[in-house]
Amino acid sequence: MDTYEKLAIFLDRLPGGFYRTESGVEMRILKRIFSEKDAELAMHLTLIAEDARVIARRAGISVEEAERRLESMARRGLIFSFVPSDGLPRYMATHFAVGFYEYQVGTMDEGLAHDADKYLVQIPPEEWEEAPQIRTIPVGESIPAQLEVISYEQGEALLERHSRFRVSPCICRKKNQLLGKGCDKPLETCLTMGSAADYYERNGIGRAITKEEAQALLHEANEAGLVLQPSNTQEAGFICACCGDCCGVLQLAKRHPQPASVLISNFFARVDTELCSACGDCEFRCQMEAIGVDNGYAEVDLVRCIGCGLCVSTCPEEAVTLVEKPRHERAAIPKDDEELYIDMLRARGLVTTPGLVGMVVRSKGDRVLTKL
């Protein structure tokens, strides 16, 4: 078995998985991003943040070599790293997406764009049905004043948990631009916060912005008709602003007959037909083709509606409102990445034991993921 095949298996046994296709285009992506030596070392990392000494011992190389190679891989977006208060860098494995694919936004060329475009359309929507990495939250302007929305369902409240922010280009819209089929939505819209922002800063991805600028970006996303999608945790480390033309996740969901069952959202839109003037603004704004004007008023297809609120914030008659789903239909949002990864592994049948982030096996029987 060659190195890249082993890497593909390793990635597929991480919580986010790595879908395999008949065409094998995903292997071309790996070969574009990882050298063989990169791939060999990447497979010695886990989802537990570890220093270079631990990884060097596991990989059978010197600490000095491990430090040099791990730093290089982190700078090139192949693995995740952070520097805690003790000043000793820690390194972690990362998924394909959301993960090292997004980290290539600064270096993506036409070749990678072409392969990624071919790969993403082959992923079946069902891959995201269980414990997805991201979710949908309403744009702030769409939330009724009388509705007491939990803080992690509001973009502005998610920002309040952090003090460090960066904004970078959307890799999905950049990919499409390189292929000559981009849309007219803003490009620089992806927000990272906290340790994710620190990682982007150390690796020269995006630019630093203030909390006020981050808040303004959420309002600009609403104006541009972009869907807010943070990481699927209460302590979100990023917020994407996505369009149905380019976003891999939204495009994946749109291919599903019931997008609302694929994407996590705790809201849906409702139309007051007596107030509706059938102007069509909501239909134009909807990224999921979930609302249309027929019979003289707008109608919402609830199996397609993902509760983003874009139809609400644009309605001149205030005829559309957001409604919270009944309690038994609401998704429980994991507290942090640890809980999220456990949920994802359980959904994929890779772990059932409480307190473990997987007991994933390599070809030699070593654990890739270990007890936290």
- SS3 category, 275: coil
DSSP-derived secondary structure for 197-257: HHHHHHTT-SEEE-HHHHHHHHHHHHHHT-EEEEBSSTT-SEEEEE-TTT-HHHHHHHTSS
Interatomic CA distance for residues 12 and 368, integer angstroms: 11
Per-residue model confidence as pLDDT tens digits over 45-83: 999 999 999 999 999 999 999 999 999 999 999 999 999
Per-residue model confidence as pLDDT tens digits over 300-328: 999 999 999 999 999 999 999 999 999 88
Tell me which range, 151-165, 214-228, 343-357, is most confidently predicted by mean pLDDT: 214-228
Mean pLDDT of 254-270: 90
Query: Quick one: pLDDT at residue 153?
Result: 86
pLDDT at 330 over 90: no
Cβ atoms within 10 Å, residue 78 = 23
Per-residue model confidence as pLDDT tens digits over 102-139: 999 999 999 999 999 999 989 887 776 666 889 999 99
Q: 8 and 360 in contact (C-beta within 8 Å)? A: no
- Angle between helix axes 63-75 and 52-59 (nearest 10 degrees) is 110
pLDDT at 356 over 60: no
How large is the C-alpha radius of gyration of the chain? 21
Per-residue model confidence as pLDDT tens digits over 188-205: 999 999 999 999 999 999
Per-residue model confidence as pLDDT tens digits over 135-174: 999 998 888 766 667 778 899 999 999 999 999 999 999 9
Its pTM surpasses 0.75: yes
Tell me which range, 103-107, 260-264, 366-370, is most confidently predicted by mean pLDDT: 103-107
Tell me which range, 33-37, 85-89, 292-296, is most confidently predicted by mean pLDDT: 33-37
Rounded to the nearest integer, the mean pLDDT of the chain is 89
Query: Quick one: pLDDT at residue 130?
Result: 63
pLDDT at 364 over 70: no
**Beta-sheet strand order (sheet of 165-169):** 207-209, 165-169, 188-193, 238-242, 227-230
Query: Quick one: pLDDT at residue 357?
Result: 42
DSSP-derived secondary structure for 112-152: HHHHHHHHHTTS-GGGGSSS-SBB-B--GGGS-TT----GG
Angle at 89 between CA 86 and CA 92, to 5 degrees: 130
Angle at 283 between CA 280 and CA 287, to 5 degrees: 155
Angle at 52 between CA 50 and CA 58, to 5 degrees: 80
DSSP secondary structure code for residue 279 in this structure: -
DSSP secondary structure code for residue 163 in this structure: S
Question: For residue 192, which amino acid is it?
Answer: T
Confidence of residue 349 (pLDDT cuts 50, 70, 90): confident
Torsion 296-298-300-301 (CA) sign: positive
pLDDT at 368 over 50: no
Mean pLDDT of 229-242: 94
Long-range pairs of 144-150 with CB within 8 A, sequence gap ≥ 24: 144/321, 144/322, 147/322, 147/324, 149/324
- Angle between helix axes 25-33 and 3-12 (nearest 10 degrees) is 100
Confidence of residue 363 (pLDDT cuts 50, 70, 90): very low
Query: Quick one: pLDDT at residue 226?
Result: 96
pLDDT: is 286 or 146 the higher one? 286
